[in-house]
Structure 1
Amino acid sequence: MAEQLSTSKCDSPLLQAFVDNRSILVKIAARITGCRSRAEDVVQDAFFRLSAAPQITSSFKAQLSYLFQIVRNLAIDHYRKQAMELKYSGSEEEGLNVVIHGASPEATHINFATLEHIADALSELPQRTRYAFEMYRLHGVPQKDIAKELGVSPTLVNFMIRDALVHCRKVSLARGEVA
């Protein structure tokens, strides 16, 4: 079965050879990938690579050899990638049976309530202590940078963070939560 893709001539002799031999290239890729659909993807990738490649001024036989080698290499890469994905992925049924701990509505409510209590506990602290705690624990700012910004020693910042943490634990324990 002859496959007519384009009646117009391409700019490059290499691209013209590609268009003229597309069905053979797909067959080569299909032998490696095991699927005609994937082979079509490989050949399309090869075309895009060739269209961006510099012009090759060699014999027609050398150009065909170059085309076949590009398609072969891309098909092997595609096959390896597919094998790797199959190795590390499971079936859809396996995914449906995965248990996500803490994903119940009750757990979500408890976690949200705990965060609200901690936010309330933080609002009871002096502003400078709360700022130091939030910058260090939530934003990951180093204590020495917080100390420079507040105009205090890094040791004092360390104590402010510790005091805020102790206060949050006391509030959580008073409300019956585990901190």
Structure 2
Amino acid sequence: MTAQLLDVTRLYVAEQGRLRAYVRRILRNPASAEDVVQQAFVNLLGRHPQGEAPSPAYVMQAVRNLALNHLRDSRRRAEVEMAGEPLDALADPAPSPEMAALHRSELMHLLTALAALPPRRREAFVLCRIEGLSYDEVAARMQVSRNTVITHIVAAMAELSRRL
């Protein structure tokens, strides 16, 4: 072990509790405070000249600078994340041109199949499934029994299913 490593290790053991408490007050996050203090000592090992032990005041300033950098960077990341939310609202809810063409084609197939149904069956199906009337309302409008309406709708659905 080099003398520099021993000096930095002794300084870490002596000062790390006080430095963590200081950084925790700045960041308000104990886990991040620990990371910042450790990063400061790693930086000291890489930058401090051989043979000289860093002073506690120098270490305090290095830890403070790292903590402020961490705070600034976390705020910047938060701003970027917040900026993404309004962008999601700008997405066009309309279907793509391909989907619109596909839906138009499916609608044309359905309308063709509906047109091929017998008139009374088509009328019962349209009144019930498209206009949303109940079986009783359709029966009253068509002047037939409820069971006849049900029979027309079931037959229409079977024929449409077969055609589509």
| Structure richer in helix, relative to its length | 2
Q: What TM-score does the superposition give when structure 1 sets the normalisation length?
A: 0.43
| Structure exhibiting the larger radius of gyration computed from Cα positions | 2
TM, length-normalised to structure 2: 0.46
